[in-house]
Structure 1
């Protein structure tokens, strides 16, 4: 069973605005983004990292941040660029056809995992395995559009509330 990545605006009491996404689908989405626009896919990855994970992965002293601190690395000032990228590049590209990227483009789960780890080094920030990818779901383009749209809505809320957010991977 795949892990879930949960995003929650700090101080938000409306639980319906929390976003819970399939971890495998997020990994496929970030990989797909890296094939379209690598610098923006790195920014998307950074938006999905806690401050402590970002510091660890980039060899920056952790200071007061520990692995049990879910505070995001990015804040509201970074959201507009991500919203624009997802809305104007990724969602339109994914919406052109209904296919399973994992089986029909990337050559199956094992091959996708190899492509993922052979891709940009920042993809390794999210370790992924066979148990988190499901052909017909994780790479299914309508599912990825839903993930990207959910991220856009969440990033918009972060921007509007002008607050950082918490990230949980369970």
Structure 2
């Protein structure tokens, strides 16, 4: 079965509507990112081998390699509200990170952390910052594992790092 745009329809296990046929990568039209295709292929192979695995697109980060970089993963405030979620957003300027401030004199950026108020689970983040491509995966991991704010608070972030901004945002919730 194909979508209106000609992509192969798959489920979260990368199965198509044909027995023993799987589709990973650009052909399914879900995400045109190489790192998504790698994960889709892993899910497909695991399922073929009888291992439980599921593709979670909300945990796949995307990055615009601009200056500064713009990275995002999971829900935005708008998408969470559109889904009827009671989402809170924590906004922290990147200058709250001493290392960011030291290495980006005069530069600024922001992190927005999206949290579900009901479950306290991390839903997403958007980061405008140099180095954001290096640490957005951290929030993707929280989403993949279904971590709550209280669980994330137990994680030790190395100091001084730009990624500490995630910790700052978590503790501002």
What interval of TM-score do these two structures reach, taking the shorter chain for normalisation?
A: under 0.3
TM-score (norm 1): 0.25
From the two aligned structures, give the one with the greater helix fraction. Answer: 1
| Bigger Rg, which one | 2
